Structure 1
Amino acid sequence: MKTINWEVEYLSSPKVIRYCKKCGHETEHISSDLFRINAQQKSLDIWLIYKCIHCKNTWNMTIYTRINPKSISQDLLNKFMKNDENLARACALDTELIKRNRVKIELPPYDIKGESIDFRSDTKIKIYNPYSANIKVSKVLREKLSLTRKNFDSLVLNKIFQLEKDKDINKSKIVDNITIYYYGTRIREIYFGGNENA
């Protein structure tokens, strides 16, 4: 069985939707890629600074509250202090962190990098999601392979697409990485009765 690798590549940071005091209603906010750090005696507070896209009013998204500086690595602390761009993006794409701050998230557009599959062959597809943004497996497969919902559901029903331990592919999300098994050799058996000339 051939193995191919796909990777989710985000084209921008996600927006969060929250109430803006200055605008007087819910608006979209985007990450400034800047951190705010507040040191109080032996504890630290760390936030990621967001800005309203309409009025530029700021909102601080909590990352850590009253933590002991020794509880995180010096390397990580340095990245916060230097406004490391990759770290800021990772925080901005961490859907669990955003949910803990009780705001809504609008996932950014993305591309799925990697070769397509040969629909006639069995293939193991490994999908890597570099950040903690929860994306549905079914959505990625349909978009990458240009499948309609009807066609995709038919393939799942006939177990041509499967996850490990037979998990529900329509409910599963790509948090870090996931492996999907595509059984292309079953298509001929199911849809064409094994006719080699079909």
Structure 2
Amino acid sequence: MQSLLQVQWRVTPLKTPRPWLHCPRCDARTPFVSSDKFRVNAQKKCLDAWLVYRCAHCEQSWNFPVLERCPVNGIEPAILHALTENDAALAWRHAFDLTRLGRHSSQIESFAELSVEKQLLSPRDGVATHAEIAIAAPYDCGVRLDKLLASELGLSRSAIERLADGKALSVLPANRRALKQMVRDGQRITIDVRALPFADPSLFTRVSAGPAIPEAPRP
């Protein structure tokens, strides 16, 4: 009889991506770092908002457009409040909008450092034969799924691949290349614990150190 251990892993990057831009003060292409602060300008009934970046070398500012000539009455009150209060979670959501950021920079630097916050979702009844990991990734963390699993479970990436080849590990949504692709929000990984080279299921729930960033309000 199978006993299922259900856990959630909330995966959060510790740094926001850095676009490389021409810095007029340095007269060179340099990385720009999000300040997590917004600049907001209202004209009549329209509003413009930018996420402020700073050159990593000289503090020269660059404004990343967030809202352009947007009617104030068309902005959700929670979003407007977050903009005026420099809400860090909203700043992170825009800083990880790599599609829009890519319109301004052809080179965006990402970082692999992560916080993985683990939460037990099912009661500990007996010895688990299988574990189901639900991935919550509010931001694009830029790390492959096999690397995340290997790091958190103390295995090599080749061991993770062998588990998948032996049908002891599966990923939903189903994708034959899921392990080699970046971690995605909503993924579910099921692992046959009996196929692991250790007998300690607590690794699935052992919390990694590091701060977690709260979710941003959505429009």
TM-score w.r.t. length of structure 1: 0.78
Count of residue correspondences? 185
Measured in 2, the distance between the counterparts of 1:169 and 1:152 equals 12
Q: Which residue of 1 aligns with 2:200?
A: none
Amino acid at match of 1:89: W
- Which structure dedicates a bigger proportion of its chain to strand? 1
Measured in 1, the distance between the counterparts of 2:145 and 2:29 equals 30
Q: CA 1:108–1:77 in 2, change beyond 3 Å: closer, same or farther?
A: farther
Measured in 2, the distance between the counterparts of 1:108 and 1:61 equals 23
Indicate which of 23, 26, 29 corresponds to 1:23: 26
Measured in 2, the distance between the counterparts of 1:152 and 1:127 equals 17
Measured in 1, the distance between the counterparts of 2:45 and 2:162 equals 58
1:127 maps to 2:125: no
Measured in 1, the distance between the counterparts of 2:31 and 2:173 equals 39
Give the fraction of aligned pairs with identical amino acids, expressed as a percent. 27
1:50 maps to 2:59: no
User: Aligned-pair RMSD on alpha carbons?
Assistant: 2.7
1:137 maps to 2:145: yes
1:63 maps to 2:79: no
**1:134 shift after superposition:** 4.6
Matches within 5 A, 1:1-198: 1-103=4-106, 104-107=108-111, 109-114=113-118, 121-167=129-175, 168-185=177-194
Could you list the runs of 5+ residues in structure 1 that have no partner in the other structure?
189-198
Amino acid at match of 2:95: A
Residue deviations 1:41-87 (CA, integer Å, cap 9, x gap): 44322110000010110111122222222332012112101212222
More relative contact order, 1 or 2 (CA 8 Å, 6+ apart): 2
Measured in 2, the distance between the counterparts of 1:108 and 1:35 equals 25
Measured in 2, the distance between the counterparts of 1:153 and 1:108 equals 21
